[in-house]
Amino acid sequence: MFVASPQLLSGLVQVLEWQDCSESTRHHAVNIMRSVCSFCSPDTQTTLLADLLQSTQRVAAAVVNHLQKCEDDQVNQVSVGGAAATDAEAVAFRSEGRPAEAPNNKLGILLHRLIQSYAAVTSNSKQAAVAARGKATTLDPLWHAINGYLLRMNTQLEAFKDPKAASSVTFPPIVLPLVESFFMFHSIHSDLANDPPSFADPEPTNPTAEPQQPEAAKANDESGGPAATAEPSSPVSGGKDSTVSMQFIEKNRRLLNVLVSSNISLLGTSLALLMKYPRYVDFENKRLWFREQIRREQESQGYGHSCRIHVRRANVFQDSFFNLNSRQAEELKGRLRVVFKREEGVDAGGLTREWFLVLSKEMFDPNYALFIPSAEGMTYQPNGLSSINSVHLNYFKFVGRVVGMALFHDAHLDCYFTRSFYKHMLGITPTYHDIESISPDYYKQLVWALENDVDDLEFTFSTEADDLGKREVIDLKPDGRNVPVTNENKQEFVTLITDYKMTKAIKDQIDAFLGGFYEIVPRRLISIFNEHELELLISGMPDVNIEDLKANTEYVGYTSASAVIIWFWQVIDAMNREEKSMLVQFITGSSKVPLGGFKDLQGMHGTQKFNIHRTADTSRLPSAHTCFNQLDLPEYNTFDQLKDMLMKAVTMGHLGFGFV
């Protein structure tokens, strides 16, 4: 063990405090500090970290004073073209690098430099990181001050209505280094806390409690269903530091997404911790991040070669199958060149896009027996009887490759799958609510069983399956056909029957599809999306005509002149394109808009208009029955209450909200 003099350690820290300290100088100083932590005694490490933390505390105190002065002076925090912001939808930080060193920003840059160094030193030594964690609370006043400073800014952002105003609105330069400092510091402790990285959480043992599952805000059927959880389950399992990070992100979601939208690379650098909480990242930002990762993979792997695909338009499915089946996955990531035989045209991208669209429709041709329509007829699920086609698993792998290729090459497909199938693509366990889209009547039976006494009913832990005309009994657990379902074990039954119907009955088909899909798109990249967003990524964002939707809406318990209905349409009119797409998904189960408009909207029994039903319980979020295009809308007391509850249901309700 080496011993470094206190003067050397103090001098290293002082270098970081120089206003003229360059990035190169900082880098050299940090490398020396890392060496100290690697080769010197624990006492020397402790002294170095104490000096570094003490310096950070001094600067933090100055930052707190500065932010307090801004609040006391009521300094404008957001501006539009140099003037105070009064009306805009979003705020843009127009800088690809470090913001200009304005006088009020030097403190922010210095704080960022010290915390960046602190994070770098502690990340090199687990012992140092653990020691640093014990001192983490010493900077709590700084984080409280930053939260307060950003609160006013977020309040201003919430008042902005025009999305185009983002181009003329700027943050004060100090904002980004303050936010980066928070994320860098808490990343140290987040790594120790083992934060979950995505939506793909384990299935809860209680089927009525569905943390982070998209259907939790859906209504139970008319007979009444189990109440959803009171709050969305926390995406945090790692203690205080993880909770602090999540709360900071939740409170500042709007501001953080605006910062990221102007420089998507932040998600891979200083704001990388944000990606551990993907539910708070806007879909468009995640999409841009996804495209950036694909671009980097293309560059690093050298996918500059051409992949030529020759097909006959009248036989596009079979020709495409033989073309793709004979190639390695890496070949399919090259630049696609599609040729329709006996047709003129050089593929500059248009023929490839056309090929994807034509092929995506052929996937659902009933002659191939690969997919079956859901109850409402707009989405598709793997066919459990697809084995009637002897090469069905090869076809499923092929379809998985096609969907993966569309994502990889930024093309859209004219295909819409069930929520549960999108969940399988993401590694999320389907819930019993997902059964509603496949078998609404059976779903009602499950809901009834969960809410009523079943002790006197004679049914067991088994189910019947159709194997190409032959009926057979399937045990859901060992000797399940002889195990009665009771009030005590009925939740276990619901979990097991859901697993069988939504997963095990089509496991071979799912595995084959995912085998092809993951060959093209790495699971780690796709896991940041939820199933609603994955549909938009695959099929594109629709143009939703709200006037057409309004003209084809029916009311039960309300009229078009009811206050709640007037408020409802006011909220919808103010939605952006992404939110309108999510609204259509929430109501119908798919973002697909009928070609003839909403007058042709399909339900379980054919054409069925969007209908809004009045409900009385204002403690509940709005909820939907997608098989009937039905929205259950409580009679809220105020516009603000309706807006808050509706937006939660549409944009976040599917992640676990029920009662609030």
Which positions are catalytic? 627
E strand intervals along 37-137: 79-80, 83-84
Give the list of residues 6+ apart from residue 499 with CB closer than 8 angstroms, or none: 429
What is the spatial distance between Cα 526 and Cα 509, in angstroms, rounded to a whole number? 20
What is the spatial distance between Cα 218 and Cα 587, in angstroms, rounded to a whole number? 9
DSSP string spanning 536-560? HHHH------HHHHHHTEEEES--T
What is the spatial distance between Cα 470 and Cα 388, in angstroms, rounded to a whole number? 13
Query: Which is nearest to 236 in space by CA: 263, 201, 284?
Result: 201
Interaxial angle between packed helices 350-362 and 392-408, expressed in degrees from 0 to 180 and rounded to the nearest 10: 150
Q: How many CA atoms lie within 13 A of 549 on its CB side?
A: 20
Question: Which H, E and C letters describe 434-491, residue by residue?
Answer: HHHHHCHHHHHHHHHHHHCCCCCCCCECEEEEEECCEEEEEECCCCHHHCECCCCCHH
What is the spatial distance between Cα 491 and Cα 205, in angstroms, rounded to a whole number? 8
Strands 169-170 and 79-80: antiparallel
Q: How many CA atoms lie within 13 A of 136 on its CB side?
A: 23
> 513, exposed or middle or buried, with CB in 10 Å at 0-12, 13-18, 19+?
buried
DSSP string spanning 170-211? E--TTHHHHHHHHHHHHHHHHHHHT---SS-PPPPSSTT--T
Query: Which is nearest to 428 in space by CA: 251, 140, 210?
Result: 210
